Amino acid sequence: MNQNSKRAAILKVACRLVRQLGAAHLTLDAVAKEAGVSKGGLLYHFPTKESLIQAALDDFLDRFDSETDAEALRNPALDNRWAQAYLIKTFDIDKDDLEMSFGILAAASNQPAMLDPMRERYVLWQSRMTAECKDPVEATVARLAADGLFFCELFGFAPLEPQLRSEVLAYLLKMVKSRDQNE
């Protein structure tokens, strides 16, 4: 296993343990044992519990950004590439990423400053949505709806059935029209 895949496996284990045990009970020893690495190997990648949590958040945000950018580039059906790609990728978040997000948010809840990178990304995402779309209010409503779906699924708050979920995404995609698009 190379260093990047070992690092990713450690992050995944840490988030799963937070979800199972709670953030207060997360220990580097437990993560090392569950990930099948030595404590020294874990400390090589993450010298503290906080650095492990911060790395998990950064990894999630970086992957979401790169996957959104890739969707925008490869999908010619999108009217305004990035804004619609953001909606698609938010609706596409898989079970593993939901588990990681839950773990990150739970672990960071005791240290709100750890969420600063997420706050900064949301500011950037909001500005991209409003800059790209014809109506900044509709763009904001669409982003908030997609984010709301993400948090509903994250916490199990009445997640949508697949058909309704698909219809909501289609509605939101129509809602975020490009600045260049004529009515």
Q: In the chain, what are the domains?
A: 3-175 (1.10.357.10)
Q: DSSP label at 178?
A: B
pTM (predicted TM-score): 0.81
175 DSSP β-pair partners: none
Residue 35 to residues 38, 39, 123, 158, Cα–Cα distance (Å): 9, 10, 34, 32
pLDDT at 124 over 90: yes
Token pair in block for residue 66 = 């790169």
Where residue 133 falls among pLDDT bands split at 50, 70, 90? confident
How confident is residue 181, by pLDDT bands cut at 50, 70 and 90? Answer: low
Residue 180's CB is within 10 A of a number of other CB atoms, namely 9
Helix (H) or strand (E) holding 92: none
- Look up tokens 């937070």; give the residue: 18
Secondary structure E strands in the chain: none
Biggest CA-to-CA distance, the chain: 61
Tokens of 121: 């990304």
